[in-house]
Amino acid sequence: MTDPVSFFRDVASQHPRCFWLDGGGAREWSGRRSIIGWLEDDDVSLTWSAARREVRAHAGGSSTVVGDDLFEVLEERIGAGEQWFGYFGHATRTDLPAPPDPSLPDAVWMRPRAVRVFEHAPLQESPLERGLPRDAAVATAQPRQSPPTPVTREVPEAYAAAFAAVQEHLHAGNSYEVNLTHRLTRESDLDPVTAYLRLRELNPAPYSGFLQHDVVDARAWLLSSSPERYALITPDRYLETKPIKGTTPRGTTAEEDDGHRDRLARDPKTRAENLMIVDLLRNDLSLVCEVGSVEVPALMQVETYASVHQLVSTVRGHLRDDVTTIGALRALFPAGSMTGAPKLRTMQIIEEVESSPRGVYAGAFGWISGDGPADLGVVIRSLTTDGGGTWTLGTGGGITVKSEVAEEWAESEWKAERLLRVFDRPEPL
């Protein structure tokens, strides 16, 4: 069988518009199938500009405005038997406050002419690397490197001011929890394909993937290594989301690692954060699901990845007959774990306190079928660029009244640190 990495390199070099939904770092719940696809010159892709409030269709070297709401355009254009691949950026919904991305399209969706499917071998585990993908793990039970040292030891004034403003809103009762994030940039001439291959080695995850949309005035590269499910819609119309609230670094020994894992599972503040987002998502699903069908089959389970343990819940419901796939994805967007609760008021707070737009970060990336099913991850642990040499990534975490500014800043730094290693790591074989 053709090696997916070699095949991916060839596709990305030959086709300006292409993608890889990468199952190499998947879990049992997300499957181990990779999909690599590409567009020919006359195939259609859609982009959304929140600043201009226009959806453009790109094909044959030209583009035309085809609407002013991406969800509506997708609803009209996705036909039975088709699959579309792409991302919704944070500012995709027109009825919610979010500043536009100044560099990349706020959304990109592609209808490929051809796709290639690869099945990945089952993952193996070693005692120390419990839950880790084989290609991320040490082959034997040797100690891991120490958790990353924060790049900046002192809390910057801008972050401290934003944190203080969030605390004022929390104490005033305007929100129960606010996901406070910020954008980091790195200048590098590293090409996106090499960068992605480094990222998938450093941080394999269930929603790993690569998107390239090399089109004049709509250039975008998204390199994802996200562990979080935004939405799965099954053929029998069940809608499932898996919010993450609660993250801690891995330990350097098996004993230390178990200690981190256990503390995460028991920490009252973390459990309260997770529960608030579960309640928000139960409400979101109730807007589109049958009465009485919304349930929480898994509450606050610890999942383990290459660099972190995370506290994950699952919320599930059965879609009403009058709700389409696009309608369900819109109602859920953006992911509650990336906003806070309640969603609208908290997004207003986020717009007020955050100094930079989120762009693709905090959005969703995956595929949608015209026959109903869909599967998208939340855009976290990801890198973006417009190809001009500037790379961006978002990082942050949930803030409650019990949060400490130094702890939250440190958490945001070590979440970003593993991604920043991409720019310092030798090229993968």
What residues are annotated to the active site? 228, 245
Under 8 Å between Cβ of 335 and 244: no
**For 410, what's the count of Cα atoms within 13 Å in the CB-facing half-sphere?**
12
Under 8 Å between Cβ of 35 and 20: yes
In 3D space, the residue among 396, 373, 403 whose CA is nearest the CA of residue 170 turns out to be: 403
At 257, is the secondary structure helix, strand, or coil?
helix
**For 66, what's the count of Cα atoms within 13 Å in the CB-facing half-sphere?**
21
Cα first-last separation, the chain: 18
Directed axis angle between helix 405-420 and helix 192-202, to 10°? 120
**For 63, what's the count of Cα atoms within 13 Å in the CB-facing half-sphere?**
16
Tokens (6 digits) for 271: 């459990």
**For 350, what's the count of Cα atoms within 13 Å in the CB-facing half-sphere?**
32
How far is it, in rounded angstroms, from Cα 175 to Cα 352?
Answer: 13
Q: Which helix (H) or strand (E) holds 165?
A: helix 157-171
Query: What is the chain's alpha carbon radius of gyration, rounded to the nearest angstrom?
Result: 20
Separation of CA 165 from chain center: 26
How far is it, in rounded angstroms, from Cα 120 to Cα 221?
Answer: 24
Maximum Cα interatomic distance, the chain, rounded to a whole number of Å: 60
Under 8 Å between Cβ of 267 and 339: no
How far is it, in rounded angstroms, from Cα 418 to Cα 68?
Answer: 37
